Amino acid sequence: MALDQSFVGRTYPPTDPYEVGREKIREFAEAVGDANPAYTDPEAAKALGHPDVIAPPTFVFSITFKAAGQVVQDPQLGLDYTRVVHGDQKFVYVRPVRAGDRLTVTSTIEAVKSMAGNDILDIRGEVHDEAGEHVVTAWTKLVARAAEEN
């Protein structure tokens, strides 16, 4: 079923703050096998000009994707999440995410398309810190594959 075009441009309320912890960054860096000391050693991060350990570039996806859940699970939109695959992902950074950040995400539906029976949804997540400064924007394209004919 084609998604409702009127959802284009809809913005959802900002999420509650997510507090970025040093040990969560360490856990993530270990999980992706990345031993860069900027992720685990505050002194190494400071030597690079960062006030505390920074997160790997893709770390913030866990936060923005959770926020996108508001969109994906919006019953009025009617996306069949069991058929969703991740199409594209892009990040544009103002600065790296770092330990101590309290981040909120504001999700906006940028595009709703239907192609060959597939529903395509583009979601933009704007990430801000506690001071209201912009940290990073994440664009996520989700594709709900057409249901098979019975």
What residue ranges bind another protein (CB under 8 A)?
Answer: 27-28, 30-34, 36, 38-39, 47-50, 54, 56-58, 61-62, 65-66, 85-93, 95-96, 139
For another protein, give the closer residue by CB, 10 or 40.
40
Task: Report whether 82 contacts 99 (CB < 8 A).
Answer: no
For another protein, give the closer residue by CB, 5 or 89.
89
For another protein, give the closer residue by CB, 8 or 143.
143
Give the nearest distance from C-beta 114 to another protein in angstroms. Answer: 19
In a 3-state reduction of DSSP, which class is residue 109? Answer: strand
Task: Report whether 127 contacts 138 (CB < 8 A).
Answer: yes
Nearest of 109, 102, 92, 99 to residue 130 by alpha carbon: 102
Give the nearest distance from C-beta 6 to another protein in angstroms. Answer: 27
Give the nearest distance from C-beta 3 to another protein in angstroms. Answer: 20
**Helix residue ranges per DSSP H, 8-60:** 22-31, 42-47
For another protein, give the closer residue by CB, 76 or 116.
116
Residue reference for tokens 């664009």: 139
